[in-house]
Amino acid sequence: MGFVKTYEEILEHNKEHADFYDAEMLTLVWETESGVIEKLLPPPLQPASKPAVVAFLANYPSTNFSPGYLESALLVSASFDGQEGFYCLSMPVTNDMGMAGGRERFGYPKKMANIAFQREGNTVVGWTERHGIRFMQVKGNLTGKINDNSAMDEILRFGVNPDGEYSYFGFTFKHSPSPVAGEAFDYPPRLVQGETVFRPRIFTFAEVEIEVTPSEFDPWHEVPVKHMLGGFYSVGDNSMLRGQVVAEADPIEFAPYAFLKWEWATS
């Protein structure tokens, strides 16, 4: 296992999917202010039939591609060519290989962060911090209920199945800044569609809350909570399947949205 790999080593580590074993997750779903999601979606993505925001905090103790790590994410509902899913705005992680694999292969906007995840009894708490700013803090009370019981159909509409396997589709943009002066990208930004499968062994609906602190580096506050629908806590095995490139974006149109993975230095 040196700088240069053999073909046998490459084939051995060419996984068909990324597996997360005993993944522990707290997921939150809310409605945001009118027009927020539309403003955040790069073309050719379109708003979904019903707008929603999803955030999660996860502890991955073991995977088939790297040592275990923690992760959080912020996603908004979106649609492309009739397929509804979630566009990822932010995905902080605590492991460099977890970051590199998601960024380089799929285009996930991953950045290194400090993340905490703790369960005590029927309470789950956690936070994510970068540049000394704890920009999100979450809490879940595992009561078996959600914040708005009339919104249960909305939670289940996202494919959630508390009694067995379920999945969701995610959208990301894979793009690379060009080293050539006057050129924005190495190639036209590519819209990637992928599917993640969840096989929970433990599943509990939860009354959840999130507190966001403004940060120029991680602006989760730009997707405010208008109405918290609820959430759920799960423990099980997840598989992120191979994605597919479903479209290319116009470089000029995409340029304003191309800064989820990078941030400008402050003077």
Q: What is the pLDDT of residue 28?
A: 98
> Does a structural domain hold residue 5?
no
Confidence of residue 264 (pLDDT cuts 50, 70, 90): confident
Tokens of 150: 């009339």
Question: Is 45 inside any structural domain?
Answer: yes
The residue whose two tokens read 């088939």 is: 64
> What does the DSSP assignment read for 147-174?
S-GGGHHHHHHTT--TTS-EEEEEEEEE
Q: Residue 88 domain-assigned?
A: yes
* pLDDT more than 90, % of the chain: 84
Assigned domain for 266 exists: no
Structure tokens belonging to residue 46:
């379109």
pLDDT at 205: 97
Q: Is 55 inside a domain boundary? A: yes
**What is the pLDDT confidence band of residue 248, given thresholds at 50, 70 and 90?**
very high
**β-sheet bridge partners, residue 169:** 195
Which pTM does this prediction carry? Answer: 0.95
For residue 130, what pLDDT band results from cuts at 50, 70 and 90? very high
Distance in angstroms between the alpha carbons of the first and the last residue of the chain? 42
The alpha carbon torsion through 210, 134, 117, 154 (nearest 10 deg) reads 20
Structure confidence at residue 17 (pLDDT): 86
- Does 40 fall in a domain? yes
Q: How big is the chain, counted in residues?
A: 267
The Cα–Cα gap between 102 and 107 comes to 6
Q: Is the peptide bond before 44 cis (omega within 30 degrees of 0)?
A: yes
Exposed, middle or buried: residue 170 (CB in 10 Å: 0-12, 13-18, 19+)? buried
* Per-residue model confidence (pLDDT) at position 16: 81
Q: What does the pLDDT read at residue 209?
A: 98
* Residue 192 counted as domain residue: yes
Over residues 181-189, mean pLDDT: 92
The pLDDT, as a whole number, for residue 266 is 66
Average pLDDT of the chain, as a whole number: 94
Spatial separation of the C-alpha atoms in residues 102 and 69, rounded to whole Å: 13
> 267: pLDDT confidence band, cut at 50, 70 and 90?
low
Q: With contact defined as beta carbons under 8 Å apart, do 41 and 253 qualify?
A: no
- The secondary element (H helix, E strand) that includes residue 98 is helix 96-101
For 191, the domain range is 16-257
Q: How far apart are CA 121 and CA 142, in angstroms?
A: 9
Domains held by the chain: number: 1
Closest by Cα among 206, 192, 204 to 242: 192
34-65 residue pLDDT tens: 999 999 999 999 999 989 999 999 999 999 99
Tell me, what CATH number does 67's domain have? 2.40.400.10
Examine residue 109 and state whether it is found in any structural domain, yes or no.
yes
Q: pLDDT tens digit string along 75-108?
A: 999 999 999 999 999 999 999 999 998 999 999 9
Q: Which of 172, 161, 139 is nearest to 243 (CA)?
A: 172
Mean pLDDT of 147-164: 89
